Amino acid sequence: MRRAFAGTAAAPGMALGRVRLERPARFSIDTTPLPEAEVEAEVARLERAFAVAREDMAELRRKLHGSLAREVGEFIDAHAQLLDDPELIEGIRGMIRKGHYRAAAALKAQRDRLVAVFDAMDDPYLRSRGEDVDHVIARVQSALARQASNEEKKIATRVGEILVTESVAPGELAQLAGHGILAVVAGSGSPYSHSAILARSLHLPMLVNVGDVLEDLRDGDLALVDSVRGEVVVHPAAQDLAQYRNWQRETLREGQRLAQLAGAETRTRDGHALRLFANAERPEDIERARNLGVAGIGLYRTEFLFLAHDGLPSEDEQFAAYRDAVLGAGGLPVTIRTLDLGADKADAAGLVMASEPNPALGVRGVRLSLQQIDVFVTQLRAILRASCYGPVRILVPMITDATELAEVRRLIEECGRDLRTAGHEIPDQFELGAMVEVPSAAINVRTLLDIADFLAIGSNDLTQYVLAADRNNDQVGKLYRPAHPAVLRMLAWVISSARRAGKPVSLCGEIAGDPAFAPVLVALGLEDYSMAADRILAQRDALSRCDRKALRALAPRLLRAHGSDGIAALLQTATASA
């Protein structure tokens, strides 16, 4: 029977596939005694469920390669051994044959008994093995509960999987993306979480805040994820499948239309020129961005060099990476952001730091750089050496006040003198910019502009700091709203202050590449946008439909809005004006 569950679109698109529950649902267990005549049929059902669960594990094992196979293979092998444990299976068979348990009830009783045994053990490792029993029996329960029509089974064999989960971590999503996952449906989450951002970059449709989805879906159900309407449809009807096919055709046509905008100028409908930059961290990101006709690289992330390296990367290793990025840009400016890590990731990057209860408000970004001067100087020297190969701007994250940026400028000048003395040809002048992502930097931006050559607004962090709402905390995810009046007023203040100072200001958070935000950002006077390369064409198209003069006239009303409803109404007005 067709059922639809509403959610919030976090990554666009549609996908048709069979459900794969990351956390199996809480099953409804029938505890009524089984008639004698049905006992052997119930045993057969149980054995089929075990066979399906074994095949699921074997298929997962076959899909794994490289380091992932090593990391995950151990627990898969442990689960596979449990599925073949004769004592486990015989015990459940005995419950059905002697106690007239139904298969699901027998599984639950066996699970409860075994988990209780493990929980009573003193050894922490052995206690943790109870989780394996729980997971394995839950997988068999899922196989037992699967119900799909023959037609759905035929379709399911031809399509991939829809991940259905309460929440998914970015690392987990990155691993799953290469193994047949077509879309993600989460019971909680935010469209602005790191996982949602990753889903968009991987082109995986994603819905969050889908109520009761874990309770009502089963492994193997055929499901249609529709991020256009914000719903997941289980057992889709013929009409749903027709809409999916229409969406596929329309997406193809739209992609072909947008492809024609590659290399085009970015201008509003009334002819005002805007500049689109790309966020990047790999050479292929830069190459793709150039092919799309960007004005430059607005944010080159350097964290990957540290996180992917065994120990701290040397000056020469960093120099080679930055040089290749600059050369790859082909003369376009490259804005290199200095290391933006905190205590939560420092160990993985080869840095020694004390753990912190709240890394987001701790030693991260420039705070870390100014504490670990040797590491920072090495990075600055590498960037300065790379600047000989093309225009480079240095961007400093997590600036709180102007004194930090002044200290960075002093270190850059000192590094430049040392490099020139050593025979390196270093440009005489460097453009130094500040990330505006801390409220104090935004409020006191005029002082910052006395030192900075340019600004880049990090709207992701600025929003969460202004609203005191972690975008990755599902409990407060709904509070994280970039269109909140306080956030918009702060954006407007930073943009207007930079314009009055005659210095460039860009926005490099998620909303920079969101077509729904294009009219608002134009209204606030933003002219430089930096985003993932795959957002360039859609945002260029959205900006080309904006009437800048009309939207700028709307800005005072936008900034006087009192709440979310007022903002939403003005957003509709802005869109209509565009």
- The number of beta carbons lying within 10 Å of the beta carbon of residue 344 is 15
Lowest mean pLDDT among 104-113, 327-336, 402-411: 104-113
State phi, psi for 334 to the nearest 5 degrees: -120, 120
DSSP string, 469-523: --TT-TTTGGG--TTSHHHHHHHHHHHHHHHHHT--EEE-SGGGG-GGGHHHHHH
Is-contact 274 529, C-beta < 8 A? yes
Separation CA 247–CA 244 (nearest Å): 5
Which member of 415, 484, 508, 546 is catalytic?
A: 508
Which amino acid makes up residue 384? L
Residue 543, pLDDT > 80, answer yes
- The number of beta carbons lying within 10 Å of the beta carbon of residue 411 is 17
- pLDDT tens for 25-39 read 445 577 788 888 888
Q: What is the model's pLDDT at position 174?
A: 64
- The number of beta carbons lying within 10 Å of the beta carbon of residue 388 is 14
Report, as an integer, the average pLDDT of 508-512. Answer: 93
State phi, psi for 461 to the nearest 5 degrees: -70, -40
From the list 342, 347, 408, the residue with the least C-alpha distance to 379 is: 408
Separation CA 391–CA 409 (nearest Å): 18
Q: Select 296-458's CATH number: 3.40.250.10, 3.10.20.30, 3.90.1300.10, 3.20.20.60.
A: 3.20.20.60
What's the topology of domain 28-145?
Enzyme I; Chain A, domain 2 (1.10.274)
Residue 239, pLDDT > 60, answer yes
Separation CA 497–CA 396 (nearest Å): 19
Known catalytic residue at 415: no
Q: What CA–CA distances, in Å, run from 560 to 157, 226, 490, 503, 564? A: 55, 35, 12, 26, 12
Indicate the pairing of strand 392-396 with strand 334-337.
parallel
Report, as an integer, the average pLDDT of 434-439. Answer: 97
Which member of 135, 179, 194, 309 is catalytic?
A: 194
Known catalytic residue at 194: yes
Residue 521, pLDDT > 90, answer yes
Report, as an integer, the average pLDDT of 343-366. Answer: 70
Separation CA 139–CA 133 (nearest Å): 10
Report, as an integer, the average pLDDT of 254-271. Answer: 94
- pLDDT tens for 356-413 read 677 778 888 999 999 999 999 999 999 999 999 999 999 999 999 999 999 999 999 9
pTM exceeds 0.75, yes or no: no
Report, as an integer, the average pLDDT of 418-428. Answer: 93
Can you give the residue ranges of every domain in the chain?
A: 28-145, 150-256, 296-458
pLDDT top residue among 419 and 126: 419
What's the topology of domain 150-256?
Glucose Oxidase; domain 1 (3.50.30)
